[in-house]
Amino acid sequence: MTPTDIEHVINEEIIASEYEPANVRTEVEAFLATLDDSEETAAAVYNQARAFASARHDELVMRDGDLERVVAIFDAVLEPMLRWLAAKAGMSDPRRYVFDKIDGWRT
């Protein structure tokens, strides 16, 4: 599965049809459970997790009126992805790699 495929499913099929972060999290977890653990898929999940982490950071910087819900949606997507990367891609600390140089964790 490519990053574009994963992006499409998460954005167009899950986020676009769900308003509640808890439902988004459940749907993302169910989707990730269907993925194989090949290197290509792991790289695609990692790339999309980085994209969502970056978008989450951008939302926090903008601080617009819908901030709380938008960040909650990003977290609902990221949490299952981070768990999947730890379980399927063998990353011992996926949060460190996904958020590296995005939230100012590292320079």
Structure tokens at 77: 């997507």
Give domain status of residue 105, yes or no.
Answer: no
Instruction: Establish if 106 belongs to a structural domain.
Output: no
Please give the average per-residue pLDDT across 4-14, as a whole number.
92
Residues in the chain: 107
Whether residue 107 is contained in a domain is answered as: no
The answer as to whether 62 is a domain residue is: yes
Please give the Cα distance from 13 to 78 (Å, whole number). 16
pTM beyond cutoff 0.85: no
- Number of domains present in the structure of the chain: 1
- Looking at the predicted structure, is the pLDDT value of residue 105 above 60? no
Q: Residue 106 — very low, low, confident or very high, per pLDDT cuts 50/70/90?
A: very low
Which two tokens mark 78? 């990221």
What pLDDT is recorded for position 103? 53
Residue 81 reports pLDDT greater than 70: yes
Residue with tokens 């695609």: 44
Checking if the pLDDT of 3 tops 60, the result is yes
pLDDT tens-digit readout, 12-62: 999 999 889 999 999 999 999 999 999 999 999 999 999 999 988 887 877
Which domain, by its residues, includes 48? 3-99
Average pLDDT of the residues of the chain: 87
The predicted pLDDT at position 56 comes to: 86
Residue 80 lies in a domain: yes
